[in-house]
Structure 1
Amino acid sequence: MHQATYPPTEHLVIVGNGMAGHRLVEALVGKPGRPSRITVIGEEPDPAYNRILLSPLLAGEMERDALTLRDANWYADQGIELILGERVSDIDRQVQRLTTDAGRTLAYDRLVLATGSSPARPPVPGLELPGVHVFRDLDDAEALIHYSQNPAGGRGGSAVVIGGGLLGLEAAEGLRKRGQGMRVSLLQRDDRLMNRQLDATAAGLLESELRERGLDIHTHAQLERLEAGADGRVGAVHLADGTRLAADCVVVAIGIVPNVALARRADLDVNRGIVVDETLTSADPAIHALGECCEFQGTTYGLVEPIWRQVEVLAAHLAGETVDGYVEQPSATKLKVSGVSLYAFGPIDPDPEHEVLAYHDPEQGDYRRLLLRNGRLEGAVLYGDTASGPWYFEQALAGVDLGPCRAALLLGATDAQALLDESNESPHCPAKEAA
């Protein structure tokens, strides 16, 4: 437990109006000890929006306005100063003042860096060519939407998406759905899609589904270079095995890199991310970091679930409340592609001590694989019917001994929970004997 010993912050400045920074603001406004003055600075011109919904926006399943979390009027109603379209260029820690690229200066009592991340870029020739995109913010989504409606190559165009993880799959499927007659190829350097979350069977089901939809998928794809076309724009992608793919649009979606340049210039402790302690406090006690730009005990972040837990801790800390420090917990993965349901958590590859339970119905496209150690669930991969995913995850987090319901585990949460309840009521459990 950590008790804040300083008085409630007089002026809190939050650098970053993304999902993490905005979530912090919403958490603070409901607290009695909220800072008396809050200023939010966002580099993008738009108020905070739900970045998770960029994929359905690209796919044409959602309108842009639906992504906005709160409009500028909400900030004003809460007594919060919102500054958009400016980037913080310098932090003077000695006098606790920051400067933006517009020449604005602001003094702060406490500062939160929620600067997010940037797309990672592979070190290959041709990446600077016109027609090469990333997929990270509203402007990126709008650029891809414009391309899909006006392909440079005409007749639907040819797009290549680099990256077979969550973001790459969402970008590729979004382009396929948005573009009429567009040929979309997806490159994955590993042997299977989503190799960090899915085993070979689930990845194979996913690949088959996406191929049936029309995606051209290349695994074991080692990117060599991008080739310029006659017009100077990107015209093709070359792989190390000699494959050449025509492409008038390339999307790089291989991961993210924490935005730490501002923190480095301020001489804060930075590894991959801005190093923070269990209260999200940096090496400077007046400066905190949150979300994708921070690093805690060697871990950096790309999923919202742990970031929301960070927000709870930091909001309580800034409001002067007694707070439990942030601790790492497992997170579950879901894919945001319409018509594809998957849910996964924990280790992908079983070790010799794991008990593996699996169910596969190829005709229905359902697959479940559970990894147990001494009766306790450590990992799960679900494809197709994922309704029981949250229940599995809850049992794994709680470390529940699932031995009494082992025989029903693959049948789903309802049957398994019924056996667990029965075993708790009676010391004699027939299911345990049957297992």
Structure 2
Amino acid sequence: MEKQKLVLVGNGMAGVRCIEEIIKLAPDQFEITIFGSEPHVNYNRILLSSVLQGRESIHEIILNEREWYAEHQIQLFTGETVNKIDKEKQVLKTDQNREISYDHLIIATGSVPFLLPITGANKDGVFTFRTIEDCRRIMEASKRCNKAIVIGGGVLGLEAARGLLNLGMDVHVVHNGSFLMERQLDQTASKMLQKALEEQGMKFLFEKETNEIVGKSGVEGIRFKDGTEIEAELVVMAVGVRPNVQLARESGIATNRGILVNNFLETSEPKIYSLGECAEHCGIVYGLVKPLFEQGKVLAKRICGQPTNGYVGSILSTQLKISDVKVFSVGNFSETEASKSINLYDGPGGNYKKLVFQDEKLIGAVLYGDIKEQERLLEMVVNQEHVPDGEESTLFQSRKQKENPIVSMPCNQIICNCNGVTKREIINAVQKNGLTDINQIKKYTKASGSCGGCKPKVADLLSYIQSDAFDEPVGVESSMCDCTLLTEDEVVREMQVQGLSSSQGVMDVLKWKNKQGCTTCRPAIHYYLTMINPEYEDKHKDLSDPEGMHMIFQVNNFTCNCEKQSSLDLAGNLEKRFEFLLTPSKVKITISACIHNGPDTITNDLVVIQMERGWEIYVSDLNEQNKGTRGLLYIAETNQKALEMISAFIQYYRESANFMEQIGKWLEQVGLIHVREVIFDDELRQQLLERLDEEVLIRKKLLEKSY
């Protein structure tokens, strides 16, 4: 089949990450071309401040060398700018008179630094801080200059100022606001940050508006609108960026502040998509790494024709990359009449915590100094976890930890938020590939390869793995069975990519050692073929009892004057809904008519207990250390809502668990918070239920046909 032509305009982090996802999903579907206006391969723009501060080299922030493009047969044009899109002919034109046709076009042109429209902005010695070339020019200029001014007291300005200090310069930060990072911090945390930076040698001028950069040819100083002046030989403007929409706007693609996109990152024009800092989704332009990578995954699935629920936006968090300064914020931490906040302030100890709640949910947080709980708070804000009134202060109590927080961290907890890399994935990569340093971990997992904020944790985890105290043999992923060298995930992926539709076809095409398979792989292949294609029917199997895979429902009713009919009705409805379907492993559900037999005394996968407020639904043990405890999944007010939530939970388990993986082990892998996030979402839950009902109908017809 002839490959489709896919062109990416923009060789930055968002666009290339999308291409990486596309290559994973459909390695042979597209002929890929990438244009980059800079003369470099794909690099991590976020870590330029670390280069300026001397903590990273330019080589260390390269994300994909030229060999990567060649390996994946990607045609790369660097130092070349696309300046016209002919939408009717589906052709691009560049500033080097090159014309390239496309079937699919991704615009990921990023953003451009904002230059203050003031006299003298074009003088020698005035810099923006956006590219590798900017970084190099600033470093070169610092060798002959002593006094520097950074205009802008936001994240980028402070990181640039720290770099200039490291280059031996006298540095003033000029800010038009009354305190630093006012978009990311409250005033208390900002003043603590200012004090710490002043101790490092940074100087600040607040509520100053620049009127003119003075000097005969080069920079000699800055004159403010209030008439005061300050000397300088080098000026860095770090006052923000603007989405680079020029190409899209001139080509007739709808734009506002950014290029307008829908939930599937589609623009107003067919076959043209956009993501990253140039794209505007629901009125928001995202400039942080994690949202851009989330967009990349959605767009990759859309272009490859695979199902996706779309991009629904992101909750933003901020972490400053300056040594010896620890700052974190997430969500909405501004106080309103509808919200309340609690604060913990330890001035002498250098710690400050502020948590903001609304409708018994954590909606925002600011941490300064002690930021160990940042992942937990981020998860709570993202997942809108319920915090009962009066229990808010318990969040200030750090969870029990061993000698190192990384030791007690659950294996399914994410360490690298930008790339969604868990502790388990890092341990597996280290064990499987014999990794010995952070750069190797970054290459294999991408952890610490984006914003760099997780680098200390990755280093701690690596030290722990290499120590005698390490006792978490999470295990290197093994092959499905002795018949093949492929892992279970690899087998499923090949089934989908190659369109394999029979058990024997899987074993033949994937070169099974034992051509008939074994008792381990045969039922697994059958299960996965059924999940991929509900109409799949293996003539050698009894559809009513495929390899013993079925669900077991146990209804407990107790003689304590409890009303039993509701529990009997719920059990009957569940049995009817799932009687024709397979599950990865046997599912045991206890439905209790009253509270007198609570969740701690029952050891099944799902425990449903009738209470005055409705049905409390509990899920299986999350790991061995928590044996005997359970997680509350949901409180359903009615039988119908309980049926709906349990059905969505089981369907998500069916779609994402490995064959023979019990619910408890599955939850340990994916995390209860993630599962709740999926089934609590009205749209996602409805899609799960629709797929479930469709499959029930198909399997019922197949069963009737077999008789």
**Is the TM-score greater than 0.5?**
yes
Checking the alignment, whether the CA contact within 8 Å between 1:222 and 1:239 is kept in structure 2 is yes
Checking the alignment, whether the CA contact within 8 Å between 1:34 and 1:318 is kept in structure 2 is no
2:117 alignment counterpart: 123
1:147 and 2:141 aligned: yes
- Greater relative contact order structure (CA < 8 Å, 6+ sep): 1
The number of aligned residues is 406
Structure 1 residue aligned with 2:179, among 186, 192, 205? 192
Deviations 1:239-287 (A, max 9, x none): 2223211111110111111111111111110111111111111111111
Structure 2 residue aligned with 1:86, among 72, 80, 83? 80
Structure 1 residue aligned with 2:238, among 253, 274, 279? 253
1:104 alignment counterpart: 98
2:206 alignment counterpart: 219
2: CA distance, partners of 1:139 / 1:104? 25
Structure 2 residue aligned with 1:51, among 40, 45, 50? 45
1: CA distance, partners of 2:153 / 2:43? 25
1:433 alignment counterpart: none
1:207 and 2:208 aligned: no
2: CA distance, partners of 1:83 / 1:390? 39
SS of 2:158 mapped into structure 1: helix
2: CA distance, partners of 1:38 / 1:163? 39
- Deviation for aligned residue 1:329: 2.4
2:65 alignment counterpart: 71
- Deviation for aligned residue 1:150: 2.4
Question: Amino acid of the residue matched to residue 158 of structure 2?
Answer: L
Q: Which has the higher strand share?
A: 1
- Deviation for aligned residue 1:423: 10
1: CA distance, partners of 2:220 / 2:350? 37
Deviations 1:393-433 (A, max 9, x none): 11122121222743421123559x9xxx98968xxxxxxxx
1: CA distance, partners of 2:399 / 2:357? 16
2:155 alignment counterpart: 166
Give unpaired runs (5+ residues) of structure 2.
402-408, 410-625, 633-707
SS of 1:323 mapped into structure 2: coil
1:11 and 2:38 aligned: no
1: CA distance, partners of 2:232 / 2:164? 13
SS of 1:368 mapped into structure 2: strand
- Deviation for aligned residue 1:85: 1.0
Question: Amino acid of the residue matched to residue 295 of structure 2?
Answer: Q
SS of 2:122 mapped into structure 1: coil
2: CA distance, partners of 1:266 / 1:72? 30
Question: Amino acid of the residue matched to residue 201 of structure 1?
Answer: T
Give unpaired runs (5+ residues) of structure 1.
1-6, 152-156, 426-435
Structure 1 residue aligned with 2:34, among 40, 58, 72? 40
1:401 and 2:395 aligned: no
1:364 and 2:358 aligned: no
Checking the alignment, whether the CA contact within 8 Å between 2:92 and 2:99 is kept in structure 1 is yes
- Deviation for aligned residue 1:380: 0.3
- Deviation for aligned residue 1:220: 1.0
Checking the alignment, whether the CA contact within 8 Å between 1:162 and 1:254 is kept in structure 2 is yes
2: CA distance, partners of 1:424 / 1:364? 36
Structure 2 residue aligned with 1:386, among 349, 371, 380? 371
Counterpart mapping for 1:295-314 below 5 A: 295-314=280-299
- State the structure with more CA Rg: 2
- Deviation for aligned residue 1:84: 0.9
Checking the alignment, whether the CA contact within 8 Å between 2:342 and 2:393 is kept in structure 1 is no
2:132 alignment counterpart: 138
Deviations 1:154-196 (A, max 9, x none): xxx1111011111101111111112x2x211101111110000
2: CA distance, partners of 1:76 / 1:123? 43
- Deviation for aligned residue 1:349: 2.1
1: CA distance, partners of 2:61 / 2:227? 41
- Relative to structure 1, the CA distance from residue 241 to residue 114 in structure 2 (aligned partners, 3 Å threshold; closer, same or farther) is same
Counterpart mapping for 1:172-187 below 5 A: 172-178=161-167, 180=168, 182-187=169-174
2: CA distance, partners of 1:423 / 1:202? 37
- Deviation for aligned residue 1:355: 2.0
SS of 1:381 mapped into structure 2: strand
2: CA distance, partners of 1:423 / 1:225? 64
SS of 1:251 mapped into structure 2: strand
1:329 alignment counterpart: 314
1: CA distance, partners of 2:238 / 2:329? 21
2: CA distance, partners of 1:265 / 1:407? 54
Identity of aligned residues (%): 36
SS of 2:120 mapped into structure 1: coil
Question: Amino acid of the residue matched to residue 406 of structure 1?
Answer: E
- Deviation for aligned residue 1:332: 0.8
Q: Which has the higher helix share?
A: 2
Structure 1 residue aligned with 2:14, among 20, 29, 41? 20
2: CA distance, partners of 1:414 / 1:374? 28
SS of 2:142 mapped into structure 1: helix
Checking the alignment, whether the CA contact within 8 Å between 1:9 and 1:109 is kept in structure 2 is no
1:315 and 2:300 aligned: yes
Question: Amino acid of the residue matched to residue 120 of structure 1?
Answer: F
Checking the alignment, whether the CA contact within 8 Å between 2:150 and 2:236 is kept in structure 1 is yes
Deviations 1:83-128 (A, max 9, x none): 1110001111110101111111101111100100000122221111
SS of 1:149 mapped into structure 2: coil
Structure 1 residue aligned with 2:228, among 217, 223, 243? 243
- Relative to structure 1, the CA distance from residue 285 to residue 302 in structure 2 (aligned partners, 3 Å threshold; closer, same or farther) is same
- Relative to structure 1, the CA distance from residue 65 to residue 33 in structure 2 (aligned partners, 3 Å threshold; closer, same or farther) is closer
Deviations 1:221-245 (A, max 9, x none): 111111114xx10111112223211
2:326 alignment counterpart: 341
Question: Amino acid of the residue matched to residue 364 of structure 1?
Answer: G
Following TM superposition, where does structure 1 have runs of at least 4 consecutive aligned residues deviating by more than 4 angstroms?
Answer: 421-425
Question: Amino acid of the residue matched to residue 138 of structure 1?
Answer: I
- Relative to structure 1, the CA distance from residue 411 to residue 90 in structure 2 (aligned partners, 3 Å threshold; closer, same or farther) is same
2: CA distance, partners of 1:87 / 1:198? 38
- Relative to structure 1, the CA distance from residue 414 to residue 241 in structure 2 (aligned partners, 3 Å threshold; closer, same or farther) is farther
1: CA distance, partners of 2:97 / 2:246? 18
Checking the alignment, whether the CA contact within 8 Å between 2:211 and 2:223 is kept in structure 1 is yes
Question: Amino acid of the residue matched to residue 153 of structure 2?
Answer: G
Question: Amino acid of the residue matched to residue 109 of structure 1?
Answer: D
Question: Amino acid of the residue matched to residue 395 of structure 2?
Answer: L
1: CA distance, partners of 2:109 / 2:392? 45
Deviations 1:295-315 (A, max 9, x none): 111111211111111101100
Question: Amino acid of the residue matched to residue 186 of structure 1?
Answer: V
1: CA distance, partners of 2:630 / 2:94? 62
1: CA distance, partners of 2:198 / 2:285? 33
2: CA distance, partners of 1:36 / 1:424? 44
